[in-house]
Chain A
Amino acid sequence: MPAPFVIDHSSVTQVMAWVLVALLPGIAAHVWLFGPGILVTLALATVTAVVAEAAMLKARGYPVRPFLTDLSAIVTAWLLALCLPSLAPWWLIVTGTLFAIVVAKHLYGGLGQNVFNPAMVGYAVLLISFPVQMTSWPGPLALTGTPLSLADSAAIIFGGAPKAVLDAVTMATPLDTLRTGLLQQHTVDEIMTQPIFGHVGGAGFEWLAGAFLAGGLVLWALRIISWRVPLAFLAGVWLAAGFLHFFDAGRYGAPWFHLFAPSVMLGAFFIATDPVSGSTTPLGKLIFGFGAGVLTIIIRTWGGYPDGVAFAVLLMNVAVPLIDQYTQPRIYGGAPGREKGSSR
């Protein structure tokens, strides 16, 4: 090595472990606000991911133990599980996780080669294929009143409970409510008076967003993620939503409301920061994050689904090779302008 570089000893396992730790505040808030159903979902997704990962590693002729213990499969499983309605049926969780690990990760070449964020591919597949199950979200406990026990939640997830039990606790999410209300020609102010809305975001949902934000800040404080992607993502959401809200506050939700939907915080800090499928150059990270944020608002406002974080991240994943090619940093000591060695 020609220069005394500072060597960072962090391994993939350490990074992934910290990501899991940083998700814990969000999971705790989820349990507190929506009941323990998410724990069953997380466990099932984890088991499915580990089994699928081991099977794919074996089929591809890789040593199973060193790659399985890098925890990347579990991170994918947790991120996907946190995007799913917490009382989703078991086959939904298994299908999504299998798709994420087998197709989006291993068929594209495994960790480090996947073009698309595996968790978001799993989510998009489920949302497109099973729109009814994917939009049956349990309401916050403060509104539904009856907290389900862990056993009750497991019974619903594994199909052992009558459908009426699930119907009693599910309700439209804040983003759903906003979308439906706007389609019925109500103004944003009228819609916001409904009990599902809280201080800035949805009742309960805003605290979940706050917990994801806290976990994300931990990741940033440890320098596991750079500030560029999350900040650009949040700025993209805030500016795009603010721009629309400024012109017609009656028809477009407030920027803070959009920012404090949990999907945005989870997306900005945990999903768009994926080092494999995201941009790698400093300027590229800003473009990637900002683009995903703006696309999120565009899809939320004019798209066919109430939320757009997953599709926004996947669309920006496609643009990453282009972004990276045109944002190569100047090599230290090299001439300004485009480097000869940088364009491929």
Chain B
Amino acid sequence: MTLNEFRTLFQNGLDKQNTGLVQLLGLCPLLAISNTVVNAVSLGLATMLVMMTASGAVSSVRHFVPHEIRIPVFVLIIAALVTVVDLVMNAFVHPLYLVLGIFIPLITTNCIVLARADAFASKNHPLASVVDAFAMGLGLTAVLMVLGAMRELAGQGTLLSGIDLVFGADAKAFVLHLLPGYQGFLLAVLPPGAFIALGLLIAAHNWRRARAEKRAHAAIPVAA
């Protein structure tokens, strides 16, 4: 794997093919669980972990899976790996596990995981597949984090609330109360807030890309 391929994978995952902003895949958990930064990042990392292991596994067995039944096989692999993540989270971060609830098992049906398995891992070397899954997962987690921060800040005026669910009761001190005396904006916490915030993020991303494209065009001298 050359450095250039490596860079392309990361560019795709974080920007050009970002799952949250460009591919718009797996929006159900993206919208449902992004009401605080801690929830959003936790689910993002869990999904990333599943994606990396699933892509690695799928890529390793890609020569033995008949093409016609590849999807059920991939889903079985993903389901097994999600079960592992589910049990691990239940054991080590139980309070967070209770908050994320059904959305951990639902990673199985998240189309990003299957999409990367089918579109990339089933055709590429395991190392490249794991790197691709890592980049895609990182892009997803980044979008989730920004979305969670926007909604948490607008909704309750804090950041990192619920961090004690991950690092124990002592971590409560890390919660940032950025807007003291803030009354809260319920809409941002409710599902419509997720759609509006994601819409704004996608718009910002498109605007940035359109501007970059314009500049690239302007740089090319037009032949007379």
Contact = CB atoms under 8 A, between A and B. Distances in A.
Contacts of A128: 186-187, 190, 192
Interface residues of A, number: 8
B196 A129 contact: no
Nearest to A132: B183
A130 interface: yes
Contacts of B192: 128
Contacts of A95: 185
A125 interface: yes
Contacts of A103: 196
Prevailing SS type, chain A contact patch = helix
Q: Is the interface of B mostly helix, strand, loop or mixed?
A: helix
A269 to B, nearest CB: 28
A130 B188 CA distance: 12
Interface string A109-142: 0000000000000000100111100000000000
A130 B186 contact: yes
A126 B210 CA distance: 34
Interface size range of chain B in the complex: under 10
Contacts of A129: 185-187
A25 to B, nearest CB: 33
Contacts of B185: 95, 129
Contacts of B203: 107
A140 to B, nearest CB: 28
Contacts of A107: 203
Interface in B115-166: none
B150 to A, nearest CB: 14
- Of A95, A125, A129, A131, chain B has the most CB atoms within 10 Å of the CB of A129
A163 B203 CA distance: 41
Nearest to B190: A128
A129 B192 CA distance: 11
Nearest to B183: A130
Nearest to B203: A107
A103 B190 CA distance: 17
Interface string B190-223: 1010001000000100000000000000000000
B186, B187, B203, most chain A CB atoms within 10 A: B187
Interface in A255-292: none
A107 B199 CA distance: 10
Contacts of B187: 125, 128-129
A95 B192 CA distance: 16
Nearest to A89: B183
Contacts of B183: 130
A200 B109 CA distance: 55
Nearest to B186: A129
Contacts of B196: 103
Nearest to A133: B183
A130 B189 CA distance: 12
A91 to B, nearest CB: 9
B154 to A, nearest CB: 10
Nearest to B185: A129
A102 to B, nearest CB: 11
B127 to A, nearest CB: 43
Nearest to A125: B187
A95 B183 CA distance: 13
Interface of A: 95, 103, 107, 125, 128-131
Given A129-B186, A131-B186, 12 more contacts: A95-B185, A103-B196, A107-B203, A125-B187, A128-B186, A128-B187, A128-B190, A128-B192, A129-B185, A129-B187, A130-B183, A130-B186
Top 8 A-B pairs, shortest CB-CB distance = A129-B186, A129-B187, A129-B185, A128-B187, A125-B187, A128-B186, A128-B190, A103-B196
